[in-house]
Copies of this chain bind each other. A is one copy, B any other.
Amino acid sequence: MTATTTEPQAGAPSLTVSGCCAPAASGVADDSAQALAAMFKALADPARVKIVSMLLNADEVCACDVSALIGKSAATTSHHLKLLRAAGLVRSERRGTWVYYTVVPERLQAIAAAVQPVPGR
């Protein structure tokens, strides 16, 4: 496995059903709901929220800094980064001894779009 692992690149599902008028608010499909819930779950921890916050304010962050900034052990930090990577929200790149993390903007924008209210409502 190389530095950047293969992550899910699902086409952004939206909470607002893209098709036509549902009979009585059918809602999103089962698999879409599952995919979205997985992304939300990846952010459902203060430590991971902080990590993504850091990445949003600096294009890349060294893993060695993450541990100190979230105040957790190296093992726990690696665990959180792994979950974020698995959710496709961040990417990792090894340069020599250090590993740098960057955000995946498309995925975050997908989340933003998912919770946006229907325009015509």
- Which residues of A are interface residues toward B (Cβ below 8 A)? 15-17, 22, 24-28, 30, 33-34, 36-37, 40-41, 43-59, 61, 65, 69, 103, 105, 108-109, 111-113, 115-118, 121
Q: Find out whether the CB atom of B116 lies under 8 angstroms from the CB atom of A24.
A: no
User: Quick one: given A33-B49, A44-B44, are A57 and B27 in contact (CB under 8 Å)?
Assistant: yes
| Contact in complex: B69, A27 (CB < 8 Å) | yes
When all copies of this chain in the complex are counted, the total is 2
Given contacts A15-B49, A25-B57, 4 further A-B contacts (CB under 8 A): A15-B53, A25-B58, A109-B116, A109-B117
State how many angstroms separate the Cβ of A52 from the closest Cβ of chain B. Answer: 6
Q: In the complex, which of the residues A16, A27, A112 has the most CB atoms of chain B within 10 Å of its own CB atom? A: A27
Which one of B17, B27, B30, B50 lies within 8 Å of A27 (CB-CB)?
B50
**A43 touches which of B25, B40, B65 (Cβ 8 Å):** B40
Provide the bound-state CA to CA distance between A34 and B50, in Å. 9
Question: In whole angstroms, what is the CA distance A30 to B69 when docked?
Answer: 11
What residues of B have a CB within 8 angstroms of the CB of A50 in the complex? 27-28, 33
Measured between alpha carbons, how far is A61 from B27 in the docked complex, in Å?
A: 11
